[in-house]
Amino acid sequence: MIPASAILSPEVLREARHRERRVAWQQTRIAWLFIAPAVIMVTVFLLAPVVFNVVLSFTKWQKFTGLDQFAGFNNYARLFRVPYFSEALGNTAFWVVGAVIFPLAVGLGLALLLRNIPFQETFKSLYFLPRVLAPTAVGAIWYYVYTPHGVLNSVISGVTGSPFDFGWLYSSDTVTGSVIVTFVWQTLGITMVLLLLGLAAIPRDPIEAARVDGASSGQIFRHIIWPLLLPTVLVVTILNVAAGFTTFDLLWVMAGDYPGKRTLSLAVYMYYESFSNGAWAYGSAVAVVLGAMVITVSALLAVVQSRVSKNIR
Amino acid sequence: MSLLRKIGAVGLATALTVGTAAAADLALYSDKTPWNAGMTGLAEAASAASGATVKLQEITPTDKYQAFMQTSIAGNNVPAFFTWWNGQQLNDLVATGVAADLTPYWEAAIANGDFSADQQALVNVDGKPYGILLNVANWVMFYNKNHFEKAGIAGPPTNWAEFVEACDKLKAAGFTPINGPASGGWMPFIWFSQLVLGTNPDSFVGLTDGSVAYDSPDVQNAFKVWGDMYAKGYFTNPQESGQDDQKLFVDGTSSMFLVGDWHSGSFVEAGMKAGEDFGTFLMPALSPDVQQSVIVEASPIVVSKAALEANPDLGKGVQAMMGVDAANILGSTVQVYNGNLKAQAPNVIIEANKELVANAKPRALVRWWEAVPSQIQGDLVAAMGEFMFNPTPEQATESMSTMQSINADYWASK
């Protein structure tokens, strides 16, 4: 039997602390071993390119040369000198608003409609179907909807009885709106499913109680469903804001022939300047600004979402 | 040996084998998909002559190809052979120091009677040649012979008045006179160039060296004529062509198509018979006082200086690519003519165009796309495209203003 004085002696305590530290270090090493592949992947394929992109934006790289020449903030200053950046920024803002409001409004309407009806799963699958298609495939399909002799104009011609061959994807007034309609068509399903999950998580008791107290459907929605659904709505908003800021594939595939395509969105402008014009450093500066915008807006929305969730709890 | 070590050894051996194999292969990069058969023939000819293995690598579309080349060259990883463009585009490339000076090979080819000094000038930068000719094309007006006959047009127009008359007759016969695609992001410059050089060839040249403004009187005249032609319904709607530039010509919707004669092979592939279904004529100037001009397009294959220095036998590959056999391979497989004087013309149209040019002796001009500084070519052609999609006087003014603003900015920075 060990005497109590030996248990509490400084040597024993020191040894115990050593052992604890050894075990903790071993656990840390094992933990690092497990997360190392992910850390390496994220570093090599995400963080390093981002850092490289930021460095590039301070060089003079255009076409073949300038990669080793420092440009200071010239590329950022140029953003405000040429008209295209502000045009692309305006169109991106239009995109972000459209990509948030329309899928949310239509998705919420459908979610409320489908909530308690028979064959709900069938309808959900049907609305979700476009989501499984690649955006380039969706763009290629919808391109033929909008061509001068496409589906849309044929329908309009049939209804009005007179030939109609408007180029929806070739007019600055309609090109962005037309592609947003396609975006809504593709993202509607996932938005609706997320909102249905949010609706399913709302407890029935307060709704039943309100109904017993004589509240109308509108009042129940405004005062009970909407506040409890708000965290889900904000998650959907964050996803669609990020998608709206960075949408490239649909625009490039559908509006590839439109001569003013460079200003359709910041993502398209970034690609156009880098890959079509060879202005690699300037394109990198556009990418940095675009990335900063997405991070800022998403972070703000995440803070709002967190506060709303806390208030509900 | 543990399992882990065995796996490591096998992996290392595989990597070394693959690495050695990859190092032995040299690439011939190209963005010209329709010419793949001919390009493969050139790669095989270069391989057989040099002892190296040259393989065709294709990257499309053109903007992606250019981006690949720019990043490869900036990263000092230059392919052994690659297709490029002449004019300013070649000047920019040569300035990087990666392109091999091909003077000895051109001297031999000229002495052998394969090429002329004038042809060498198409790929010259500061008097030295930096490319093997892959394609030498005259820009001519292709016309549908059946449409001309049905419209009662006796023969190809020889002056602007006859050209306008032919357009009116074709329109009356139910055809859209001219195929005007905006495909590939570059085609809008075709009619802009033609109408400016038809107004004044010196102004056309001045646009490319910064001495003439894009809103000068000659350019204004070109836009006015272009707008009038749209108003009269001479052009097809560029929206209907999409990315298929020849669709509305080969399907019989339109009767004429102004493009390089390298396109003749594509028309034949689409079912038209060269010389029987379609012929060509040189576009007249807008006024009898103006000298007739023809655009000459030349596509070079550039050779990496480093690759040639590392493997001098590649020079034999360069010679093979400039030889008559290689030219005939290009002609027979993809109906492309590289200018070799001993080679057979790939088809009757290209042969006829050579005669047309020889007889008319027009002023030969480098194509706008190659002549204009590459840094601003994309923005300028986009402004021309905006006019094609909205051919109004207001848009013409806006396009000219945009182009001149881009042009002035560029030359002010020089």
Q: Looking at residue B336, what DSSP letter applies?
A: -
Rg (CA), chain B: 23
- For the segment B372-391, the average pLDDT, to the nearest whole number, is 89
Q: Looking at residue B361, what DSSP letter applies?
A: -
* pLDDT at site B17: 42
Residue of A nearest to B89 (CA): A63
Distance (Å, whole) CA B230 – CA B225: 9
State the complex-level ipTM: 0.73
- For the segment B377-383, the average pLDDT, to the nearest whole number, is 88
Angle between helices A83-114 and A74-81 (to 10 degrees): 80
Residue A277 with chain B: CB contacts under 8 Å: 375, 378-379
Element (H, E) at B118: helix B117-121
CATH hierarchy code of domain B139-295+365-412: 3.40.190.10
Q: What is the domain partition of chain A in residue ranges?
A: 4-56, 74-312
* Positions in chain A whose pLDDT score sits under 50: none
Residue B74 with chain A: CB contacts under 8 Å: 61, 64-65, 67, 280
Q: In a mutagenesis test of the B interface, which of A52, A53, A60, A63 is the best target, namely the one with the most B β-carbons within 10 Å?
A: A63
Provide the shortest C-alpha distance from residue B184 to chain A (in Å). Answer: 8
Chain B contact for A68, CB < 8 A?
no
CATH of A74-312, one of 1.10.3720.10, 3.10.110.10, 3.30.70.260, 2.60.40.10: 1.10.3720.10
Residue A281 with chain B: CB contacts under 8 Å: none
Contact yes or no for B73 and A64 at CB 8 A:
yes
CATH hierarchy code of domain B3-137+298-344: 3.40.190.10
* pLDDT at site B10: 45
What 3 state SS string does chain A have? CCCHHHHCCHHHHHHHHHHHHHHHHHHHHHHHHHHHHHHHHHHHHHHHHHHHHHHHCCECCECCECCCCECCCHHHHHHHHCHHHHHHHHHHHHHHHHHHHHHHHHHHHHHHHHCCCCCHHHHHHHHHHHHHCCHHHHHHHHHHHHCCCCHHHHHHHHHHCCCCCCCCCCCCCCHHHHHHHHHHHHHHHHHHHHHHHHHHCCCHHHHHHHHHCCCCHHHHHHHHHHHHHHHHHHHHHHHHHHHHHHCCHHHHHHCCCCCCHHHCCHHHHHHHHHHHCCCHHHHHHHHHHHHHHHHHHHHHHHHHHHHHHHHHC
Structure-block tokens of residue A293: 């915008």
Distance (Å, whole) CA A119 – CA A124: 9
pLDDT (tens digit, 9 = 90+) per residue, B174-229? Answer: 999 999 998 877 899 999 999 999 999 999 999 999 999 999 999 999 999 999 99
Chain B contact for A160, CB < 8 A?
no
Contact yes or no for B239 and A278 at CB 8 A:
no
Using 50, 70 and 90 to split pLDDT, how confident is the model at B23?
very low
Chain B contact for A49, CB < 8 A?
no
Phi, psi for residue B226 in degrees, rounded to 5 = -60, -45
pLDDT (tens digit, 9 = 90+) per residue, B80-111? Answer: 999 999 998 899 899 999 999 999 999 999 99
* pLDDT at site B1: 44
- Dihedral (CA of A128, A134, A138, A141) sign: negative
Structure-block tokens of residue B227: 């707008």
Of A252-261, B70-79, B330-339, the one with minimum mean pLDDT is: A252-261
Contact yes or no for B386 and A170 at CB 8 A:
no
Instruction: Report the percent of chain B where pLDDT is more than 70.
Output: 94
pLDDT exceeds cutoff 90 at B67: no
Decide: pTM greater than 0.90.
Answer: no
Q: How many CA atoms lie within 13 A of B356 on its CB side?
A: 25
Nearest to B80 by CA among B61, B53, B48: B53
Contact yes or no for A147 and B240 at CB 8 A:
yes
* pLDDT at site B90: 93
For CATH 3.40.190.10, the residue range(s) in chain B are: 3-137+298-344, 139-295+365-412
Element (H, E) at B257: strand B254-260
Q: Is B364 helix (H, G, I), strand (E, B) or coil?
A: strand
With a CB cutoff of 8 Å and minimum separation 6, the contacts of B293 are B197, B198, B201, B204, B285, B362, B363, B364, B365
Residue of A nearest to B402 (CA): A83
* pLDDT at site B342: 93
Structure-block tokens of residue B365: 């001009």
Q: Are B112 and B99 spatial neighbours (Cβ–Cβ below 8 Å)?
A: no
Cα angle A233-A234-A239, degrees, rounded to a multiple of 5: 100
Q: Residues of B at the A interface (Cβ-Cβ below 8 Å)?
A: 63-64, 66-67, 70-71, 73-74, 92-93, 95-96, 98, 182-183, 185, 188, 237-240, 242-243, 374-375, 378-379, 382-386, 388-390
pLDDT (tens digit, 9 = 90+) per residue, B265-292? Answer: 889 889 999 999 999 999 999 999 999 9
More confident residue, B3 or A185: A185
A-B Cβ pairs (cutoff 8 Å, strict): 75
CA end-to-end distance (rounded Å), chain A:
53
Distance (Å, whole) CA B371 – CA B394: 28
* pLDDT at site B21: 40
Contact yes or no for B389 and A167 at CB 8 A:
yes
Chain B contact for A59, CB < 8 A?
no
